[in-house]
Structure 1
Amino acid sequence: MEPVKELVKKAIPSLSSDKMDALMARLVELGVQCEDDMILVEAPDIQDTLPLIQCRRLVKAFQGDSQAAPQFRSPGPTSTPLPQSDDLPPTPPETLPAHTPSAHSPSCEPYSIPWHKMPSKLMDVLGEKKWVKSKERLQMVRIVVDDYLHKHPGRPGRSKLMEIAKNIVGQYPLSFKQTEPFGNMPFAKDGCGPLFTQLENRVENIKRTSTPGKRRAEGGEGEVQRKKKSRNSDRYGCVEWDVAVEGTESRAELLSKRNELKSAFKTHDPQESSVRKLMAETYPIQRETINDGTNVKVLKEEWPFLFEAAHLFDHASRLLGFSVQNKLAQELSKKEPGINNFLDTKGMKMGEGPVQLICGIVRYFKENPDHLFCKNEDSADAELSLPCTPCILIRGDHLFEIAVDQEVVNDHITSPIVALSYAFCLLYVCNIEYPKEMSLTLEFMQRVFFGINPDRGSKAEMKGKKQHHIPPKLSKLVTELKEFDWHM
C-alpha cells in the first residue's frame, strides 16, 4: 500500500498523519490493494474520512493518473476497449453478499465494518494480534451498532448480527478467540458467539424503548421442539453415545455376560480384572439400556457395577473420550488458586477445597447449590427432598454419597474430587440435562475444567428462553477471570 500512500501525499500534501491512517484503513476496507484499484474508488466511498472537496480532489488525481497508463486491452481494431477481468481487483470475502439480493433490504446488503472510526488503541491491539479486552470490545460494539443503525434504520435480524460478528472475527481471529482462564486451551470454537451476544444486547438497549415486546410461544409446538432438543442434549459432548449391537449371536452373548456380571455382584467377592473386562465388552448394551430411557432403579438392578466409581469412570471415559476424574484433578491443580483469588476479590470465596470452590462459583452465578450439594442429611426421609438430578450428599469432610432420581446409588466415596467427578459423569452417562437452577455452574465446569466445547447445542434445560451457544453470564465470568489472570 506504500505506492497508494505516495499518490495520496502527491494529491493532498497537507493531509495530517491521523487522517492519512484513517484513509488508508478505509481503502483497505474497500478492497484496495494497489494503485490500479484506485480508479474504482468514488468520492462517496471515502467521504467519512475526508472533507468532500478533498475526496473529489483525490479521486480526480487517481483517475487522472490511471489515464496516463490505461489498463485496457483491445481485442480488435474496431471494437470498444473493455477492461480485462484479470485486471480488476478481487473483492474481499467480507464484502461479498451471501446471495444475489432481490431487493435492497438491509438484511441482503453487505456491511463493511467501520474500522476507520475505531479508537487507535483498539486498532493497535488488533494489528498486534493481541486479545481485545472488555472495555475495547464494548467500544467497538457500540461503534459498529451505531454505524449500522445509522446506515440501515430498523432492527437488524439475528442472522445479520451473526454475519457481522463472523466478519469481525474472520478479519482478526486471534484477537477474539476465546481461551480458558489460567490456560491456553480453546474455550469455544471462535469468538463469534460472545461477540454476537454483545451486538444483540446493544441493539436491544437502543431499540427497547421504541419496540413493544413480543409474547413467547407457549405449549403446542414448543413442546415438540423441547423434546427434540432434549434428545440433542443427550448426545451433547459425547463421542460414543450409541454403539450398534450387531447380530443375534452377539446380542445373546452380551446378555449372557450381563447376567454373569449380576451374579458376580451378588457374591460380594468379584475379581476386579474380570469385571472390568466384562463391563468394557458389554458397553454397547449398557448404552442401549440407558438410551431407551430406563430409570435409575431398574438400571441399577440390571447393571449394578455401573454405579461403582471405577466402572462409572470407565464408562464415562469411553462415552466422552477422556478420563473425567483425572482431568478434573489436573485442571483444579492449575486453576483453583487463581479462581479462588478472583472470588476473594468479589467477596465470594467460600473456603479451601474443590467443593468450596464450586460453591463459590455457584454464589457468583446466584444459583441454588441445593441442586448439587446436600449437607448433613442423616435421616432416611431426607432422600425424599433431594432433586432428581445428580446430587452429592456431604456426610463429613471425607465421606460422600451420590444420589440420582432421589435414590442413593453410591454411599462410599471418600474424596471430594471423586464425588464431583462422579456426579458430573452421571449427567452424561444417564442422559440428564443440567438443572436450570445450576446450569451456569455446571456449564462452567464442563467448559473450563473438562474442555467439553461442542460447536452447537447445550446440556442445559431450556424452556421458552432465547438460546445462546454460550450463556452471556458464563462468557462474562470467563472474560473476567482471563483479565484477572493477566493482572496477577
Structure 2
Amino acid sequence: MELVKNYVKKAMPSLSSDQMDTLMAKLEELGVLSVDDLSLVDPEDIKDTLPFIQCKRFVRAVKALEADSQAPPQFTRPGPSSTPEPQRLQLPSTPPETADSPSQDTYSVPWHKFPSKVMDDLREKKYIMGKDRREMVRIVAEDYLHKHPGRPGRQKLRELASMIVGQYPASFKLTEPFGNEPFAKDGSETVFRQLEHRIENMKRPQSSLRRRAGGENSTKKRPRNSDLYGCVAWDPIIEGTVCREDLLSKRDDLKRAFQTRDLQESSVRKLMTETYPIQREILNDADTPIGVVKDEWPFLFEVPHLFDHASKLLGFSVQNKLAQELSKKEKGINDFLDSKGMKMGEGPIQLICGIAKYFKEDSYKLFDKKEISADPEVELPVTPCILVRGDQQFRIALDGLLVNDHITSPIVALSYVFSMFYVCNIQYPPEMAFTLEFMQRVFFGINPERGSKAEKKGKKRHFIPPQVCKLVSQLKEFECKQKESEWAI
C-alpha cells in the first residue's frame, strides 16, 4: 500500500496526517490494493473520511494524474486492445482462453446421453439431486473434452453451466436455507464448480506425470478432505506449454525483488499469478513449516498477494465478499445479539466476538490482545489469529510466527485470517469451529455439498452443525418481523 499512499499524497498534498491515515484505512477497507484500483473509487465511497467537496477533488485529482501518466502497464500483453484491465489483477484467473473461448466455437449439451429418469425429472421441473447431478456433470465434462481436447477455461465452464441451468431452471434453482448470494440465484454457480472440479480430476493424472518428469521423486501424500474443502483450484495443473524451471526462476526473481523492492507492483502480481501452481505445491506439502513457506514466497503474505491467491483458490474475492455481506447483515446480527443480552459494541471484530459468545466459544482462539513478549514462539498462537493492537492496528500470527504486522483495517484483518485457513490447509480449531463455519456460510458463501473444515469431534458428523442452522433460523425469524429477510445463505 506504500505506492498507493504516495500516489494519494501526490493527488492531495494538503491533507493532514490524520486525514491521510483515515483515508488510507478507508481505501484499504474498500479493497484498494494498487494504484490502478484508485480509478474505481467514487466520492460516495469515501464521504465518511473527508468533506464531500474534498472527496470530489480527490477523485478528480486521481483521474488527472492517471491521464498525465499513461505509461503501458507491465502486466499487459500484446493484443487487440491496449486498455488495461485492473480486474485481472484483483481476481487472478486461469490463462487466457483460445480455441475453447465461447466466441470461437459452439457446443450443444448432450441431453440425449442423460439417463431417462434425469430427463423425466427435468421435464417435470423436479429438483435434480446430488447423484443424478454428478452423473450429468460427468457426461457433459467427458463429452466436451472429447470434442474439444485441451483444458477449458473458467469462462467456458461458466457458459456450459448457464446453458444447462437455462434450459431447465426450475430443476437447479437453490431453495435450501444455505444457498448464499450471489451463488444461489439460479444454481448455475454450483453446476460450474462441479464441472470445474470434475475436469480438474480428469486432468490431474497428466499433472502428476509432469511433476515426476520435472525431477520430484517423493511420494505425494493424499490430501485430507478438509484441505480440499471449498476450494476450486487446490492442486492446479502446470500447463504443458509452461516450463517448470521457468516458474522456479520466477520464484527466485520474486525473492530477490522482496529484498530490493525494485520491481513494480503490477509486475509482482503478474509473476505471483503465473507461479500459482508451484505456490500450491509447497503449501499443500504438510511437512513444510510455515516459516519455510514464508522464506520461499515472502510476497505471498503481503495483503494484495494473499488475497489474489485466495481469490484463485476459492473462486471469489474474500475481502470484497466480506465487505458486501457485512454491509447487508452486520446491523441485523447486532440487533439480534442485543435482543439476547449480548451487546458487544460496534465493528466487525466485535460482531464476530458476539457470534462466538452466542455459540459459547472462545474468541481468544481468533483474537488475541496480549502484548508480544521477547519470546514470540511462546506467546503467539499456532492457528491463524489476529493480534489486536487498537482500532486500526492488526497483526496476523500463524504457527507461532508473525506473518503480517501492518494491517490497518478490521475487514482486511478478518479477510486475511479467514483466507489463511484455506490457503495453508488448516482446520478450524474446535474452540471456534461454529463461529468460523457461520462466517464461512453466511459471509463468504462457501457451501460445499459434503465435508467440513472443522476438526472432527465425536463419531457423528453433521453436514451443517445444528447450532449454526439454529442461529440462522433465529436470525431469519428476527428479521422477518421487521422486513423481508436477507438471510438466504
Question: What letter corresponds to residue 176 of structure 2 in structure 1?
Answer: K
Aligned to 2:322: 328
The structure that has the greater radius of gyration is 1
**Number of aligned positions between the proteins:** 282
Aligned to 2:371: 377
4+ residue runs over 6 A deviation: 173-176
Aligned to 1:287: 280
What SS is found at the alignment partner of 2:375?
Answer: helix
Residues 290/186 of structure 1: CA separation in 2 closer, same or farther (3 Å cut): same
Aligned to 1:97: none
Instruction: Give TM-score, length-normalised by structure 2.
Output: 0.54
**Equivalent-residue separation in structure 2 for 1:370 and 1:434 (angstroms):** 13
Which one of the candidate residues 251, 267, 274 is aligned to 1:274?
267
Q: How does 1:16-415 map to 2 (within 5 A)?
A: 177-179=176-178, 231-246=224-239, 250-293=243-286, 294-381=288-375, 383-415=377-409
Question: What letter corresponds to residue 354 of structure 1 in structure 2?
Answer: P
Which range is displaced more, 243-252 or 464-473? 243-252
Question: What letter corresponds to residue 319 of structure 1 in structure 2?
Answer: L
1:177 positional shift: 2.8
**Equivalent-residue separation in structure 1 for 2:295 and 2:366 (angstroms):** 24
Question: What letter corresponds to residue 325 of structure 1 in structure 2?
Answer: Q
Residues 383/334 of structure 1: CA separation in 2 closer, same or farther (3 Å cut): farther
Residues 364-405 of structure 1, C-alpha deviation per residue, up to 9 Å, x if partnerless?
Answer: 000011110001414233552332110000011100000000
The Cα RMSD (Å) is 3.0
Percent of aligned pairs sharing the same letter? 67
Residues 185/302 of structure 1: CA separation in 2 closer, same or farther (3 Å cut): closer
What SS is found at the alignment partner of 1:417?
Answer: helix
Is 1:455 paired with 2:454? no
**Equivalent-residue separation in structure 1 for 2:183 and 2:270 (angstroms):** 34
Structure with greater contact order relative to length (CA < 8 Å, sep ≥ 6): 2
Q: Which runs of 5+ in 2 are unaligned?
A: 1-123, 127-171, 188-220, 483-489
Which one of the candidate residues 427, 435, 443 is aligned to 1:433?
427
Aligned to 1:158: none
Q: Which runs of 5+ in 1 are unaligned?
A: 1-91, 95-172, 190-226
**Equivalent-residue separation in structure 1 for 2:364 and 2:383 (angstroms):** 11
Residues 136-156 of structure 1, C-alpha deviation per residue, up to 9 Å, x if partnerless?
Answer: xxxxxxxxxxxxxxxxxxxxx
What SS is found at the alignment partner of 1:265?
Answer: helix
Residues 342-366 of structure 1, C-alpha deviation per residue, up to 9 Å, x if partnerless?
Answer: 0000111210000000000000000
What SS is found at the alignment partner of 2:278?
Answer: helix
**Equivalent-residue separation in structure 2 for 1:256 and 1:278 (angstroms):** 10
Aligned to 1:470: 464
Is 1:445 paired with 2:439? yes
Question: What letter corresponds to residue 369 of structure 2 in structure 1?
Answer: K
Q: Contact between 1:376 and 1:396, CA under 8 Å: does it hold in 2?
A: no
Q: Contact between 1:180 and 1:482, CA under 8 Å: does it hold in 2?
A: no
**Equivalent-residue separation in structure 1 for 2:174 and 2:398 (angstroms):** 42
Residues 289/356 of structure 1: CA separation in 2 closer, same or farther (3 Å cut): same
**Equivalent-residue separation in structure 2 for 1:346 and 1:257 (angstroms):** 54
**Equivalent-residue separation in structure 1 for 2:238 and 2:298 (angstroms):** 21
Residues 337/247 of structure 1: CA separation in 2 closer, same or farther (3 Å cut): same
What SS is found at the alignment partner of 1:408?
Answer: strand
Question: What letter corresponds to residue 359 of structure 1 in structure 2?
Answer: C
Residues 270/405 of structure 1: CA separation in 2 closer, same or farther (3 Å cut): same
Residues 340/310 of structure 1: CA separation in 2 closer, same or farther (3 Å cut): same
**Equivalent-residue separation in structure 2 for 1:286 and 1:179 (angstroms):** 32
**Equivalent-residue separation in structure 1 for 2:417 and 2:472 (angstroms):** 23
Q: Contact between 2:359 and 2:434, CA under 8 Å: does it hold in 1?
A: yes
Question: What letter corresponds to residue 414 of structure 1 in structure 2?
Answer: T
Q: Contact between 1:362 and 1:368, CA under 8 Å: does it hold in 2?
A: yes
**Equivalent-residue separation in structure 2 for 1:249 and 1:272 (angstroms):** 23
**Equivalent-residue separation in structure 1 for 2:348 and 2:450 (angstroms):** 29
Residues 35-55 of structure 1, C-alpha deviation per residue, up to 9 Å, x if partnerless?
Answer: xxxxxxxxxxxxxxxxxxxxx
Residues 262/185 of structure 1: CA separation in 2 closer, same or farther (3 Å cut): closer
Q: Contact between 1:349 and 1:357, CA under 8 Å: does it hold in 2?
A: no
What SS is found at the alignment partner of 2:243?
Answer: helix
Question: What letter corresponds to residue 421 of structure 2 in structure 1?
Answer: L
What SS is found at the alignment partner of 1:380?
Answer: coil
Question: What letter corresponds to residue 431 of structure 1 in structure 2?
Answer: N
Question: What letter corresponds to residue 435 of structure 1 in structure 2?
Answer: P
What SS is found at the alignment partner of 1:396?
Answer: coil
Instruction: Give TM-score, length-normalised by structure 1.
Output: 0.54
